[in-house]
Chain A
Amino acid sequence: MKYGYYPGCSLERNAGAYHQSTLAVAAPLGIDMVEVDDWNCCGATEYFSINLLPAYALVGRNLALAQAQGASDQLVAPCSACFLNLTKTDRYMADSPELAAQVNTALAAGGLHYTPGSVRVRHLLDVIVNDVGYDVVAARVARPLAGLRVAPYYGCLIVRPGYGGVFDDPEHPTTLDRLMRVLGAEVVDFPLKAQCCGGHMTQITQEVALEMIRRLLKNAADYDADVIVTVCPMCQLNLDVYQTNVNQFFKTDYMIPVLYFTQLMGLAFGASPVDLGIGKEFVDARPALSKIGVSVPAAESARKPGGASKEALPMPRMEEKPR
């Protein structure tokens, strides 16, 4: 199966582990991806707040490049925000000939043109569960994730609002749950699995942002998750990198590693942790991964436990629930 590939800015750097692990699992699954040459940023959630038509034109250039380069009529985006912006622009251009004409007038200044509907944008999770299928994934599992308790975190934009078509329920999605079960993991109930991580709020107001992140960490901890698995670089960044800030702010002591779903797939397929970018996370994933017999070289690893400040009172701990 051949697809165009739009990694997006996050996968270039802060979510390099997502890029690395995506490529590592794509090959054994027969997903052949050709990166769009010279793609640009999708504008995230910022450009639509400032200037509408340039925001569409920014995304439009990527769609036009994908159409012109013609690797495939399907384009894979692993980042939820990129996925949203690409599907939204395609859909709004298709729905409004007036908007399509304006975007194309702008694109013409760069010698480009985009025909709405000519590129179908897909999220990576959708491609893996629906095009590849659970059976093919199951057949690749060499090291089942038995005993690893996984909280499947979808976040918002891959399930809502469905500009590119709906592949899972917008409030109670299950595709990632099922995929993790196929890998042999124990999937915990995670009621907040489709709640937002707060996106850019950490840069706007810390109090609001940290509370949104705290809720998600608490929910995963309440269900004894060993690891939170995510499909989005923004979600990973907020839950992982800001976990220490949450602990300092709320005097909590969460230590829940946050990994990309492709990293767990790669581990189940038998790939080495280093080849999957494991060790780039802030919250050390080694204790969780030791449960499935995976050891990560110490040099690769991350932060020591003990997020709460030294002045904090000792927190009462719930007794470990029998499993």
Chain B
Amino acid sequence: MAASATTARAPTFLDEVIARTPGDPHLERCIQCGTCGGSCPSGADMEHTPRGLFALITAGMKDQVLRSNTPWYCVSCYYCTVRCPQKIHITDVMYTLKRMAIDEGYYTESTAREAPEFSKTFIDFVESNGRSFELGLATVHHLRHRPLNAVSMAPMAIGMLRRGRMDLTPTRIKGIKQLQAILQRAKELGGAA
């Protein structure tokens, strides 16, 4: 946790974001150079570039930040992270903002609200089986969000099945009870450093 988060004044939104990110993300060091947005492969489609988002965080504009599609359009490629001259852990900060948007309900107001629901559906299968299950994931996700599109996706699914690239039923690990006990304990422990 950064020093700025431990001072006596009331914690700012910036402090909160830093505190909820593992290790020290150095977010307070941002000099607004824009290297992150310029490096981002999906930056052009974001409502705010990462640089812009960090300015909003520093200004305490929580609503705008957590409603933004920016964290959800982050593809987690770490280009910005390796290029940032201030060594800010930008990808980790984006993950923090995603979790905050879910925890505080903001994501439903985001134009990218399908993204967290995709993540949740993916994880539901992992928590039940210990492995991901692509057919189930694609089916649930598309039927929930774009039923018309699901029909047009059918040829792709059939192509995957025909080539032996997709299972009809999920694979379950032997130690699923053990895994579920571990995940349950982790949830009870709450947020990590």
- What is the interface of chain A, defined by CB distance below 8 A to chain B? 9, 12-16, 38-41, 43-54, 56-58, 60-61, 92, 95-96, 98-99, 102-103, 105-112, 156-157, 160-162, 170-171, 195-196, 198-201, 203-205, 207-208, 212, 241, 279-282, 302-303
B122: nearest residue on chain A (CB-CB)? A46
Closest 7 CB pairs of A and B: A196-B77, A156-B77, A109-B185, A106-B186, A110-B178, A160-B78, A57-B186
Chain B residues with Cβ below 8 Å from A203 are 114, 118, 138, 141
Contact A201 B183 (CB under 8 A): no
A302: nearest residue on chain B (CB-CB)? B163
Chain A residues with Cβ below 8 Å from B131 are 9, 12, 40-41
Please pick, from B23, B42, B118, B166, the residue contacting A14 in the complex, using a CB distance under 8 A. B166
Judged by a CB distance under 8 angstroms, whether B10 is at the interface is no
Chain B: minimal CB distance from A6 (Å): 13
Contact A198 B42 (CB under 8 A): yes
Please pick, from B81, B118, B119, B164, the residue contacting A161 in the complex, using a CB distance under 8 A. B81
B138-177 CB contacts (< 8 Å) to partner A: 138, 141, 156, 159-160, 163-167, 171, 173-175
Chain A residues with Cβ below 8 Å from B41 are 195-196, 198, 212
In the assembled complex, the Cα of A281 lies from the Cα of B164 at a distance in Å of 10
- From B48-56, B57-65, B68-76, give the one contacting chain A: B68-76
Contact A92 B23 (CB under 8 A): yes
Chain A residues with Cβ below 8 Å from B187 are 51, 53-54
Chain B: minimal CB distance from A22 (Å): 16
Judged by a CB distance under 8 angstroms, whether B126 is at the interface is yes
Chain B residues with Cβ below 8 Å from A171 are 82
In the assembled complex, the Cα of A195 lies from the Cα of B75 at a distance in Å of 11
Chain B: minimal CB distance from A319 (Å): 31
Contact A53 B186 (CB under 8 A): yes
In the assembled complex, the Cα of A58 lies from the Cα of B180 at a distance in Å of 9
In the assembled complex, the Cα of A281 lies from the Cα of B167 at a distance in Å of 16
